[in-house]
Amino acid sequence: MDTPAAMRIGQSLAAMGQVDADDPDAFNHCFAEINGIRMHYVDEGQGPLVILLHGFPYLWYMWRRQILALAEAGYRVVVPDQRGFGQTDRPDAIEAYDMSQAVGDMVGLMAAVGETSAVIIGHDLGAWVAQASAMLRPDLFRSLVMLNTPVPPRGKIKPTVALQAMAKGRVYHHLYFQQLDKPDRELANDPRKTLRSVFYSISGNAVGAERWRLFVEPGEPILNAFTEPKGEFPSWLSARSLDYYVAEYTRTGFTGALNYYRCRDRNWEITAFLDGAVIRQPSMFIGGAADPSLEPAEIRGFYEQLDTCLPGLRKKVLLAGVGHSAAEERADQVNELLLEFLEQLERSGLRSAL
């Protein structure tokens, strides 16, 4: 879409069939002025629109193998760097990262690419944004998929209060990130070590003491919860891919991403009108059976009862041996599940609406 609002740059190698999925330049990169910020996104393929939202500490790039598979299958795939990440603007104010702004970005992105309906798919932090988008704008987002993070309903008490109760005197990472400056500096001190440690410890490859600890003790640095792997990284993340992540976070730092967590209570305060609301659009959840984030009883219990707030839930699956990075760790399996879900939408007569 070549307009003042949305600008394509470069030539898509993916569209020409000459694809190295690990090469970030092998995709069609675009920029648009959206909701008061300049947003970077990748736009590939033609057909019904699918929007993919990354988690933390990821970027649009985490979806590179899904972009190719979905575009080849006949879908238009739009994948942004969310605000605060990568090549998208990073506003200074913490409140600029609340869900009203994040959903506003998705609405603006839809307008920028000239579409009026989409399947929205989110991982981790992106699952929160995808869930809120589907909740608030069902006219635009007609179907929802969440990866690795089953987003709970609003709840009766503030999130930080609930998380403190769950932590039982320890510090859950969402609570750790409420601090200003300290986690930003700790994560940015050595981005390569940070990302290697996080990506490995949350994956299905980490075992025993290597696995991500969801809670740290008071005063303990957050990076103590992760283990940097010895030697080369598991094959699902190439050296080139890790280099891309490291270069981007070295350039941007982590503050924009962490500000989403600092809005947890704010999001609760501004969404009283959503108390008791459910998402009725067709939906699916894909997780990892070895995902440490599902270990707390409170979170696992919500996963077990996911259909109570997703009455349109068509499938939920935990992939064996997979941790918190399903799209990276088992790209082929995730692609198969996504395509199966999208094909079911077509057969049920929803493709014309997408």
Q: Read off the pLDDT of residues 294-345 as tens digits, 9 standing for 90 and up.
A: 999 989 999 999 999 999 999 999 999 999 999 999 999 999 999 999 999 9
pLDDT band (50, 70, 90) for residue 3 = very low
Non-local (6+) Cβ contacts of 83 within 8 A are: 37, 39, 89, 90, 91, 96, 97, 101, 102, 105, 256
| Rounded average pLDDT over 12-25 | 71
Distance CA 112, CA 123 (A): 22
pLDDT band (50, 70, 90) for residue 18 = low
| Rounded average pLDDT over 135-158 | 95
What are the structure tokens assigned to 300, written together? 């696992």
Non-local (6+) Cβ contacts of 299 within 8 A are: 150, 293
264-287: burial string, b at 16+ Cβ within 10 Å, e else: bebbbeebeebeeeebebbbbbbb
Active site residue 124: yes
Tell me the average pLDDT of the chain. Answer: 93
User: Tell me, what's the pLDDT at 215?
Assistant: 96
Of 124, 173, 184, 291, which residue is the catalytic one?
124
Distance CA 28, CA 175 (A): 37
pLDDT at 130 over 70: yes
- Condensed to tens digits (0 to 9), the pLDDT of residues 55-103 reads 999 999 999 999 999 999 999 999 999 999 999 999 999 999 999 999 9
Q: Where are the domains of the chain?
A: 6-353
More reliable by pLDDT, 155 or 268: 268
Domain 6-353 CATH (choose: 3.40.190.10, 3.40.50.10540, 2.40.160.20, 3.40.50.1820):
3.40.50.1820
Active site residue 123: no
User: Tell me, what's the pLDDT at 348?
Assistant: 81
pLDDT at 287 over 70: yes
User: Tell me, what's the pLDDT at 10?
Assistant: 40
Distance CA 99, CA 130 (A): 10
User: Tell me, what's the pLDDT at 231?
Assistant: 87
More reliable by pLDDT, 192 or 155: 192
Amino acid at position 228, single letter: E
126 in Cβ contact with 265 (< 8 Å)? no
34 in Cβ contact with 112 (< 8 Å)? yes
156 in Cβ contact with 123 (< 8 Å)? no
**10 Å Cβ neighbour count for 326?**
25
Of 40, 123, 173, 324, which residue is the catalytic one?
324
132 in Cβ contact with 99 (< 8 Å)? yes
pLDDT band (50, 70, 90) for residue 17 = low
Q: Using CA of residue 114, residue 116, residue 122, residue 127, what is the dihedral sign?
A: positive
pLDDT at 5 over 60: no
pLDDT at 20 over 50: yes
Rounded (5°) CA angle 185-189-194: 105
